[in-house]
Amino acid sequence: MAAKNWFDRTRVYDAMIDFENLVIDTTHGQILYVEGISVSFDGFKALNDLTLYIGDGELRCIIGPNGAGKTTMMDVLTGKTRPDKGTAFLGQQIDLLRMTESQIARAGIGRKFQKPSVFENLSVWENLALALKAPKTVWTSLFARFNGEQRDLIDETLAIIGLEAERAQDAASLSHGQKQWLEIGMLLVQQPRLLLVDEPVAGMTQQETERTAELLTSLAGERSVVVVEHDMEFVRSIARTVTVLHEGSVLAEGPMHEVQQNPRVIEVYLGEEC
Ligand SMILES: Nc1ncnc2c1ncn2[C@@H]1O[C@H](COP(=O)(O)OP(=O)(O)OP(=O)(O)O)[C@@H](O)[C@H]1O
Ligand SMILES: [Mg+2]
């Protein structure tokens, strides 16, 4: 019966959301309000009363040991996993826990998974065109005549992700790092206000990692960016504020230089690394 109630509630909420004119209320400076979220899997608490806030335009890094709940947190924010309790709002008013995955994406949260999922047989340009908000089927996306605004958006995005020279190449020919950037580009053309990025530099070369640091840093400001990453050198290079998750809740939060001296953080995560 719970499922039916859930379905009905979502439908009602959908009817209430005017996605075209959606305003994310950040007048109090925050774009994301997560309060008291708990998620259990067979009695195991993956998230345990998690509370955190992300500022509008902020670049936040989330670190923590394996199993700390980092990916589960992103699953909750994107509607993939329903928490047992707690609240999650985009801006002051958009109740993420009442929305489906696709509604959340339309409302302005973009998520980058670890494994790139670009269309290998399509060109870089076509991949971005397919990801545009408007036409939704493959057929209409590829064969529609894009208007000037859409073409400009694709061109701007190609510049941001540094793939202008590769625009006509098949995605299959890109390096691992370039595929990751293309996927970030596919999110950017949907013009999200909040980007969630899970382990972006895993498997990247040193040079690609540095380029990714520059890219994510440049994306913040106009948007908010939450990055989960284990690569501490990378985190140090981009982070203003770092949140440390441990056993499903926040263990520490603050500037990297403070967090990495916190004895509890050293004990549970950083160990000898610092
Ligand atoms: N669908 C699921 N069913 C059962 N247990 C799950 C499920 N998803 C996650 N878990 C468990 O919840 C805990 C938190 O997992 P999560 O993937 O969020 O950790 P993480 O911080 O992202 O770790 P990592 O750094 O290894 O990616 C882990 O113990 C995991 O095994
Ligand atoms: Mg994870």
For ligand 1, whether the C-beta of 224 sits within 6 Å is no
9: in domain: yes
pTM of the shown model: 0.90
Query: How many whole angstroms from 116 Cα to the centroid of ligand 2?
Result: 15
pLDDT 10s digits, 77-105: 999 999 999 999 999 999 999 999 999 99
14: in domain: yes
DSSP state at residue 117? -
233: in domain: yes
pLDDT at 52 over 80: yes
Domain CATH code at residue 79: 3.40.50.300
The answer to which of 17-26, 60-69, 198-207, 229-238 has the lowest mean pLDDT is: 17-26
142: in domain: no
* pLDDT at position 23: 86
19: in domain: yes
* pLDDT at position 14: 58
For ligand 1, whether the C-beta of 243 sits within 6 Å is no
- Are the CB atoms for 88 and 39 separated by under 8 Å? no
**Reported confidence tier of residue 242, pLDDT bands at 50, 70, 90:** very high
For residue 199, the ligand 1 atom closest to its alpha carbon is: 27
Residue nearest to atom 8 of ligand 1 (CA): 72
For ligand 1, whether the C-beta of 249 sits within 6 Å is no
Q: How many domains does the chain have?
A: 1
In total, the chain counts a number of residues equal to 274
Mutate to test the pocket of ligand 1, among 71, 78, 80, 251 (most ligand atoms within 8 A of CB): 71
Beta strand 85-90 pairing with 94-95? antiparallel
**Largest alpha-carbon pair distance within the chain?**
58
For ligand 1, whether the C-beta of 19 sits within 6 Å is no
Q: Phi and psi for 197 in degrees, rounded to 5?
A: -130, 115
128: in domain: no
Domain of residue 234, residue span? 2-118+174-273
141: in domain: no
Work out whether the CA dihedral 143, 145, 151, 153 comes out positive or negative: negative
* pLDDT at position 17: 72
160: in domain: no
Query: How many whole angstroms from 242 Cα to the centroid of ligand 1?
Result: 20
